A and B are shown apart, each in its own frame.
Chain A
Amino acid sequence: MSLMKRISLIFRSRANTALDKAEDPRQTLDYSYQRQQDLLVKVRRGVADVATSRKRVELQVNQLEAQATKLQGQAEKAISVGREDLAREALTRKSGLAQQITDLKTQHAQLQGEEEKLTLAQQRLQAKVEAFRTRKETIKATYTAAEAQTKINEAMSGIGEEMGDVGMAIQRAEDKTAQMQARAGAIDELLASGALEDVTQPGGSDDISRELDALSSGTDVESELARLKAGSQPQAIEPAEGDILAAEPQRTTDEDTL
Chain B
Amino acid sequence: MIIRILGEGQFDVPDEQVAALNELDAAVESSVESGDVAAFTAALETLLEGVRASAVTHDEGTLDTSDLILPPADATLEEVRDLLSGDGLIPG
Contacts and interface: CB of A to CB of B under 8 A. Distances in A.
Contacts of B60: 123-124, 127-128
Contacts of A169: 6-7, 72
Contacts of B63: 128, 131-132, 135, 154-155, 157-159
Interface string B36-55: 00000000000000000000
B6 A165 contact: yes
Nearest to B27: A3
B88 to A, nearest CB: 8
Given A10-B86, A169-B7, A4 B61 contact: no
A158 B64 CA distance: 5
Given A7-B84, A130-B61, A14 B89 contact: yes
Contacts of B25: 1-4
Given A2-B25, A2-B29, A163-B91, A172 B4 contact: no
A11 B90 contact: no
Interface in B60-74: 60-72, 74
A3 B62 contact: no
B91 A160 contact: yes
A167 B7 CA distance: 10
A39 B90 CA distance: 12
A251 B80 CA distance: 81
A11 B7 contact: no
Contacts, number: 122
A169 B79 CA distance: 13
Contacts of B68: 1, 4-5, 7-8
Nearest to A5: B68
Interface in A153-185: 154-155, 157-172
Nearest to A117: B7
B56 interface: no
B61 A1 contact: no
B69 A7 contact: yes
A115 to B, nearest CB: 13
B35 interface: no
B77 interface: no
Interface of A: 1-8, 10-18, 35-36, 39, 117, 120-121, 123-124, 127-128, 130-132, 135, 154-155, 157-172
24 contacts: A1-B22, A1-B68, A2-B29, A3-B28, A3-B84, A4-B70, A6-B84, A7-B80, A8-B68, A8-B69, A10-B83, A15-B91, A16-B91, A18-B91, A18-B92, A117-B7, A120-B9, A121-B9, A128-B60, A157-B63, A161-B66, A163-B91, A165-B4, A170-B90
